[in-house]
Amino acid sequence: MDTHDDQQDLFQEIICQLWKSYDSFRNESQFSTWMYRVAVNTAIVFLKKEKRKVDKYEIVSENVKEEEGDSQIKENQIEHFYKAVQKLEKIDKAIIFYQLEGFSHKEIGENLGISEGNARVKLNRAKEKLKDIIKNQGYGF
């Protein structure tokens, strides 16, 4: 989330969902993995709700001084990226967000309950889908 208020709202929603779904934990995986899955799914749903509310994203850069033109270009790039991500399926969104957070293929696989190789393949496919969506939005590479 871009703003502190949105981050706090999402955090509260994740805590609420964890509380509601605690009975569904079956000890088939580590508790932290189950918690992470609930958090990612909640975040995806939250982002969909936010997408309906706001079509533009604000970019906050505190330590970087950029010229107005560069700032506008980066803002447009990020806006196109987020719009494209919202068009992906849930699993592809999750994989892209895991990648952006710096997770390894193995960690992505563990968190999603798939093999490392499958995570690698799904990530590459998600990137290709994302690339195609961005191009179709009229923003080429």
61-141 — its CATH code?
Answer: 1.10.10.10
Centre a 10 Å sphere on the Cβ of residue 134 and count the other Cβ atoms it contains. Answer: 19
The model carries a pTM of 0.50
Segment 54-83 shows an average pLDDT of 59
Domain-by-domain residue ranges, the chain? 1-54, 61-141
Three-state SS across the chain?
CCCHHHHHHHHHHHHHHHHHHHHHCCCCCCHHHHHHHHHHHHHHHHHHHHHHHCCCCCCCCCCCCCCHHHHHHHHHHHHHHHHHHHCCCHHHHHHHHHHHCCCCHHHHHHHHCCCHHHHHHHHHHHHHHHHHHHHHCCCCC
CA distance 33 to 75: 34
- The length of the chain is 141
Q: Which token pair is 39? A: 């958090």
pLDDT in tens, 4-20: 888 888 888 888 888 88
pLDDT in tens, 90-135: 888 888 888 888 888 998 888 888 899 999 999 999 999 988 888 8
